[in-house]
Amino acid sequence: MKTPVFTGANVAIVTPLTQDGIDFESLGNLIEFQINGGIDSITICGTTGESSTLSHEEHCEAIEYCVKKVAGRVPVIAGTGSNDTAYALELSKCAESAGVDGLLMATPYYNKTTQRGLVAHYNYLADRLNTPIILYNVPSRTGLSFTADTYFELSKHPLINGVKEASGNFSLMAETMALCGDNLNMWCGNDDQTVPMLALGAKGVISVFANVLPGVMSKICKLFFEGKVKESNELALKHFDLMDRLFIEVNPIPVKAALKLMGMDSGILRLPLYEISDSNLAILKKSMQDVGIPLAE
């Protein structure tokens, strides 16, 4: 049995960017907002953190800053995946030296690989690291998905702790859980599927929505774990529209806009990401108001 890196709600936190780099003061404020709001864990430099356009120095600095700012209050996961195995190792070693609790690694994208290649890629990394690894399956972005048999092979490595599943393929998730049991933890990677994935046995969620309402996402998980499934589901359904609207354009465009509507500095978007359209901003704003989020003047 592998102890999960975290249970409950983890926020895939945004990275506040300026024209010159990372706004660490604003990042610190967002981290405090998350912890004060009841989040159970934080992922820094994930997809929502615009990791794909951070320089190596920015990436490492953001991880180091987050670990120091959090100061052990909740587990910190660092996004360190790459389509270059050697670079994924370099980035992961940087995160390890910063003291993270886990490493989140998406499947190789664009060049992709075979299932045998996935086993070789992750085992190569796990053999050279000392920090628990969370696989990340997000075929909508990478064009590549794990199979249940590949999950089973990777679950044999003691350092491969689990997977963030964002494929939306419940048959794959169920087959994986049947094959791997307690040797591979699973976390939900799609906010709107959190409760059904918890019902399958997921340990929690790595969430975009939690950027805006950390306490709500944490409560959805806590209620479920307490056996209050109906209440958990009702809370999730109450916020379903907002979870959906936060993907009205490519993530993290809407969530950065939502934070600004709440009066928090989420920074600029780095090209090729571009600011949300006026029409979609109005839709997002209404959805936020519908669940009672107070908006800045």
164 labelled catalytic? yes
Q: What is the distance between the alpha carbons of residues 152 and 163, in angstroms, rounded to a whole number? A: 11
**Residue 62: per-residue pLDDT:** 98
What lies within 8 Å, CB to CB, of 112 at 6+ separation is 83, 142, 143, 144
Give me the residues of the chain with pLDDT under 70, please: 297
Catalytic residue status for 136 = yes
The pLDDT assigned to 5 comes to 98
- Three-state DSSP state, 86: helix
Q: Which of 122, 136, 219, 256 is catalytic?
A: 136
8-290 — its CATH code? 3.20.20.70
pLDDT at 225: 98
pLDDT at 182: 94
Contact 253, 275 (CB under 8 A): yes
Which pLDDT score is estimated for 1? Answer: 84
Indicate the pTM of the whole model: 0.96
In this prediction, residue 138 carries a pLDDT of 97
The predicted pLDDT at position 296 comes to 87
Which residue is associated with the tokens 């190789």? 108
Q: Which of 69, 122, 151, 164 is catalytic?
A: 164
What confidence score (pLDDT) does residue 217 get? 98
Q: Which residues contact 212 (CB under 8 A, 6 or more apart)?
A: 242, 246, 255, 258, 259, 262, 288, 293
